[in-house]
């Protein structure tokens, strides 16, 4: 019992020690508390859950104000995707990286306008533009991972022979990308709903359903961080 507790404690601390892991935990708390509040009939409990969820969301937004250098380093390290499986995947990731930079800039303007640090700016327009970036990056993630899965299936025997990758490693890699597609589909569904009415299902999904989608995506994200360790 103590060994299991120690293992869980160490895994939790390893997540909290990294920015990405901490962000995933905060996101999970945000959506799970919102979902829990949606399922309550007591208005007081609902209000408390919503307050907690709102504060967790605000925490993530504030921390993302410092993300520019991290994203820039990742973009420079990636360059033009010379190590990608094919040029189409490289182009998709480069476009996604550019969109991430645009998203962070838009979100900063939105944050400054929301807190009255910039005046004369319509905060709604900046939020809509940020949502459009989120839709795009989620969609690109779906395309990239689906393409990788098809390519992996087509060249399975070659991967095993040329790169000496075991069948077990290939199986783990395959499921990593399947779970990534699932998470991206959930994020894409959520992102589209944040757009103004008139585009697909934008602004049509219930708050409870969105909370469920956000919770599921966040839990998968946490799982993938742990799962990825099996691939190294």
Average pLDDT, rounded, for the chain = 90
Q: In the predicted model, is pLDDT for residue 83 greater than 80?
A: no
Number of domains in the chain: 2
**Mean pLDDT across the stretch 96-121?**
91
133-161 per-position pLDDT tens digit:
999 999 999 999 999 999 888 776 665 55
- State whether 40 and 83 are in the same domain: no
35-47 per-position pLDDT tens digit:
999 999 999 999 9
Q: What is the DSSP string of 139-201?
A: HHHHHHHHHHHHHHHHTHHHHHHHS---HHHHHHHHHHHHHHHHHHHHHHHHHHHTSPTTSTT
- State whether 56 and 131 are in the same domain: no
- State whether 129 and 52 are in the same domain: no
Domain boundary among 45, 64, 83: 64
The residue range of the domain holding 159 is 65-231
- State whether 31 and 128 are in the same domain: no
Q: In the predicted model, is pLDDT for residue 85 greater than 80?
A: no
């Amino acid at each position: 019992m103590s060994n299991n507790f120690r293992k869980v404690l160490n895994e939790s601390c390893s997540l909290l020690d990294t920015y990405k892991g901490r962000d995933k935990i905060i996101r999970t708390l945000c959506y799970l508390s919102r979902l829990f509040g949606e399922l309550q009939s007591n208005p007081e409990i609902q209000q408390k859950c919503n307050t907690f969820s709102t504060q967790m969301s605000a925490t993530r937004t504030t921390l993302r104000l410092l993300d520019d250098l991290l994203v820039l380093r990742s973009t420079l390290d990636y360059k033009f995707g010379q190590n990608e499986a094919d040029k189409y995947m490289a182009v998709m990731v480069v476009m996604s990286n550019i969109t991430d930079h645009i998203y962070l800039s838009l979100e900063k303007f939105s944050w400054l306008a929301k807190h009255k640090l910039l005046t004369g700016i319509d905060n709604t327009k900046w939020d809509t533009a940020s949502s459009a970036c989120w839709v795009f990056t989620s969609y690109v993630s779906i395309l990239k991972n689906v393409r990788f899965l098809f390519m992996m299936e087509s060249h399975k025997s070659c991967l095993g022979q040329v790169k000496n990758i075991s069948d077990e490693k290939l199986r783990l890699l395959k499921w990593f990308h399947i779970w990534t597609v699932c998470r991206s589909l959930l994020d894409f569904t959520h992102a589209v709903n944040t757009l103004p009415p008139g585009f697909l299902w934008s602004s049509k999904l219930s708050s409870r359903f969105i909370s469920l989608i956000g919770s599921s995506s966040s839990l998968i994200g946490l799982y993938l961080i742990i799962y990825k360790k099996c691939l190294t």
